[in-house]
Structure 1
């Protein structure tokens, strides 16, 4: 079984939490499935869950090179130089990243409002990027955008390999036929 969840902001990628925070159990009713990968508490978007360990491994192991695509709102007006640096790969504190797919993007018309909203600062614009990675380090997209001078404000995973959000509302699941 493979399930797509549009993980809302503020939800932990686990099924229980001793501190009472929102978890996957608040949204996923299917039993005996586990996340194939993670999204941070403050990230949103596509999370795949499965009951098949081999499938989970194929989806998450970097040697299988499943591209993951993110829509990223950043602080400031992203420059072409910053996009070019992301495409080449940037040096983080744990070493250089692989080159990333990176391009300017516009806020899509299908995007849902975030709760709580992203901070608004009248004199500092925001802009959007679409970034595709083939590796998965901890908070990598956020660290990469910060490394090129544009801190991430909002991060939404749109796609993992051939699987996409495709209009799935936040907090909702969809079974993906295998």
Structure 2
């Protein structure tokens, strides 16, 4: 098997997960950060979401990340294909709300697969938070919570819709990990190229 590489990128708030600007908004695109036209995005992030974006020039890698192995409707996909988000929500998350997220939430386009949802203190987050521009909206006398939420599928704006459905509007969304690759200590707008090893291909369930 020929080897290839991936690029881990800490996507800033307000940057579209595409190279070409075909919209009428004020968001910038990835073309301001990359000039390698062979790279393709393996799993998009909304412009208003931040964190880990993976790019690759290998179609097998792209498919392994964006189209993980199928499972029956009662089972999670392989844990290595999970995506973990750090989610700041409005209000203090209760055990019942966390349980609802864990069991799956009924959305307009169907019920989500079982997920992992953990309430964490800001000091326990696996990253040092950076200042977001613009800052989140805050309302006096309404506290916020941080969740670590791992999902195993990719419905449109899924995390935001899940938390809203259980009564926890999303204020800030940062993707921490995808398919076993983590954001680590990448600064906002910083990128890291990784040469894939046999272990990485195994992690992604890519065979010869």
Could you state the TM-score of these two structures normalised by the residue count of structure 2? 0.82
The structure whose Rg is larger is 2
Aligned equivalent of 1:76: 91
Question: Which of 108, 119, 129 is equivalent to 2:147?
Answer: 129
Picking from 7, 16, 19, the partner of 1:15 is 19
Answer yes or no: is the 8 Å Cα contact 1:69–1:160 preserved in 2.
yes
Mapping for residues 141-160 of structure 1, pairs under 5 Å: 141-160=159-178
Residue 3 of structure 1 corresponds to which residue in structure 2? Answer: 7
**CA RMSD, aligned part only?**
1.3
Q: Report deviation, 1:127.
A: 0.5
Kept after mapping to 2: 8 A contact 1:101/1:133: yes
Q: Which runs of 4+ in 1 moved over 3 A?
A: 18-21
Stretches of structure 1 lacking an aligned partner (at least 5 in a row):
none
1:1-178 superposed matches below 5 A: 1-18=5-22, 19=24, 21-63=27-69, 65=77, 66-107=81-122, 108=125, 110-178=128-196
Q: For 2:143 and 2:31, locate their aligned partners in 1 and report how far apart those are by CA, in whole Å.
A: 36
- Deviations 1:72-92 (Å, cap 9, x if unpaired)? 000111111100111111111
CA distance in 2, matches of 1:138, 1:162: 21
In structure 2, stretches of 5+ residues that fail to align are: 71-76, 197-208
Q: Deviations over 1:75-118 (max 9, x none)?
A: 11111110011111111111111110100012236011111000
Task: State TM-score, norm by structure 1.
Answer: 0.95
